Amino acid sequence: MLNNVKREIPKTIPGFGDVIPFKGVWQHMPMIHTAPVSLVPSGKGTVKKLHSIEQALDACELKDGMTVSFHHHLRNGDGVLNQVMEAIDARGLKDIHVAASSLFPVHAPLVSLMEKGTVTRITANYMLGPVAEAISNGKLTYPVVMQTHGGRARAIEVGDLSVDVAFIAAPACDLAGNLNGVEGPSACGSLGYAVPDAHYAKRVVAVTDHLVPYPANPIEISQEWVDFIVEVDSIGDPEGIVSGSTRLTRDPLGLNIARKAAQAIEASGLLVDGFSFQTGAGGVSLAVAAYVREIMRQKKIKGSFASGGITGYMVDMLEEGLFRSLLDVQCFDLQAVNSYKQNPAHQFMSASMYGNPHNRGAVVNQLDVMILGATEIDTDFNVNVTTGSTGIIMGGSGGHSDTAAGSKLAIVTTQLLRGRLPIIRDKVTTVTTPGESVDLLVTERGIAVNPRRKDLEEKLNEAGIPTTSIHQLKQMAEERAGTPDPVAFEERIVGVVEYRDGTVIDVIRQQKQHFK
């Protein structure tokens, strides 16, 4: 069957189950029933601290076939997933499902566990590196499930993703299990993505390298959710956890795109008092923020909030009074961590509060403008940030689909070519975010408005901003770089791309094996 973005989706996918095909951005909004949680209550005098991860596996009665979850605030510096999986491997467990909010190159040891059958299922919102490559090459028994940040919270809350044991990397933790991300050698800031895991897993283990006296302060995840505490030498490598600082692009092409995007935002009429904004941490995104900042200063506009993964750049705008508050699910750099620690206007949000489409209203629904990236975009404005030009997994939605769906103006900024390959395609390799939720494409050669947004096109034209069609932009790129050959795949499905509402928006097939 064809889903709403014209992708051929099987009715049933082996190892995944029955499929609800993607129906459109806000079309799957059923009555929601959250999952009951089964837990062991802790009485007076309970000692939660165990001696080792090994002992925690015993205490949690971890068995073949169970699901273990991890959060990714320590990013490529994370040491918890590998330590836990090593302990799981050591006891010869099989058929484990790893539900990690994201996976990074540091998680390469998972590859051999996939090969051995220790790990046969993986669910993640984003993955980059050896694990992603191995999955693309067919090394995981069952298809990987790619979710969004909001969709993962949804799946956990309703039990679509049922977690047996959640391992929470805790930069600071007290002996009752109150924990935060702002203290200790592995401080990473907000622990927003770990909240659904803590609230819905059957067993919750806090893994820390920094025990603090009771009660921890602040408390991001509180003691009533934590079963066990394990102290380890180190939960992560600070080098990989946060970058020292996030930088604006200096590339003239990138700056040109950013300036155009800012002009479009101004022309949209949204850049008024109460303005809200989110960007990623990429150089062009930050340059858009810089241009927007300049306009806000000149026009004395007081914004309401910036959200998402928070960068130092957004902290500067908060401190300058351009926003009243930051809503932070994850800190991208040290400046953000410090601000989150010290400034009460820099507030915590959970993954569900951030982007779950099936709660009573997520923060993304309050967003005016979202700046998005794209690996590919097609002439229906569908965006791929999941697979690279060779079809290999090298990303995933993260918050891409969530913010696109929620924001009033979702802008994709990209150059027309990347590595000599045109970004605009007739058909993206993988649909991550449906074109229905993307309003504008800004490139160095021009701006294309989604035909669904005639109102926006009129506003841009009234402001003297020329627009063109996405087809014309595609043609310009192809005149310079030719038409790329479509990627060839094997038949086997190695990944299922879930839209944030749990419907299936696309599948990922195995890489063609050239060297069999």
The binding site for a copy of itself (CB under 8 A) comprises: 26, 29-46, 48, 176-177, 204, 213-215, 217-219, 222-227, 274, 276, 304-305, 324-325, 327, 344-345, 347, 349-350, 352-353, 356-363, 365-366, 405-406
Specify the residue for token string 């990627």.
487
CB of 423 to a copy of itself, least distance (A): 27
CB of 504 to a copy of itself, least distance (A): 19
Both tokens of 141, joined, read 């028994």
Burial of 514 (0-12, 13-18, 19+ CB in 10 A): exposed
Nearer of residues 76 and 407 to a copy of itself, judged by Cβ: 407
CB of 57 to a copy of itself, least distance (A): 18
For 400-455, give the DSSP string: HHHHHHHSSEEEEE--SEETTEESEESS-SS-SB-GGG--EEEETTEEEE-TT-HH
CB of 361 to a copy of itself, least distance (A): 4
Nearer of residues 27 and 141 to a copy of itself, judged by Cβ: 27
Distance CA(263)–CA(492), nearest Å, equals 45
Nearer of residues 81 and 318 to a copy of itself, judged by Cβ: 318
CB of 311 to a copy of itself, least distance (A): 19
- The greatest distance separating any two alpha carbons of the chain, rounded to the nearest whole angstrom, comes to 73
Peptide bond into 14 cis (omega under 30): no
Distance CA(282)–CA(287), nearest Å, equals 9
What residue type is 102 in one-letter code?
Answer: S
CB of 214 to a copy of itself, least distance (A): 6
Nearer of residues 80 and 362 to a copy of itself, judged by Cβ: 362
Instruction: Encode 48-64: b = buried (16+ Cβ within 10 Å), e = exposed.
Output: bbbeebeebbebbebee
Nearer of residues 26 and 86 to a copy of itself, judged by Cβ: 26
Helix (H) / strand (E) containing 497 = strand 489-498
Nearer of residues 46 and 461 to a copy of itself, judged by Cβ: 46
Sign of the dihedral through C-alpha 346, 351, 353, 356: positive
Nearer of residues 118 and 350 to a copy of itself, judged by Cβ: 350
CB of 262 to a copy of itself, least distance (A): 23
CB of 32 to a copy of itself, least distance (A): 5
Nearer of residues 288 and 404 to a copy of itself, judged by Cβ: 404
CB of 217 to a copy of itself, least distance (A): 5
Q: Are 136 and 489 in contact (CB under 8 A)?
A: no
Nearer of residues 322 and 394 to a copy of itself, judged by Cβ: 322
Distance CA(399)–CA(403), nearest Å, equals 6
Nearer of residues 188 and 362 to a copy of itself, judged by Cβ: 362
Q: Is 17 left (phi over 0), alpha (psi -120 to 50) or beta?
A: left
What residue type is 285 in one-letter code?
Answer: S
CB of 61 to a copy of itself, least distance (A): 13
CB of 96 to a copy of itself, least distance (A): 23
Nearest-10 crossing angle of helices 312-319, 283-299: 10
Strand ranges for 103-234 from DSSP E: 119-124, 144-146, 165-170, 172-173, 179-180, 203-208, 228-231
Strands 67-70 and 96-100: parallel
Nearer of residues 78 and 436 to a copy of itself, judged by Cβ: 436
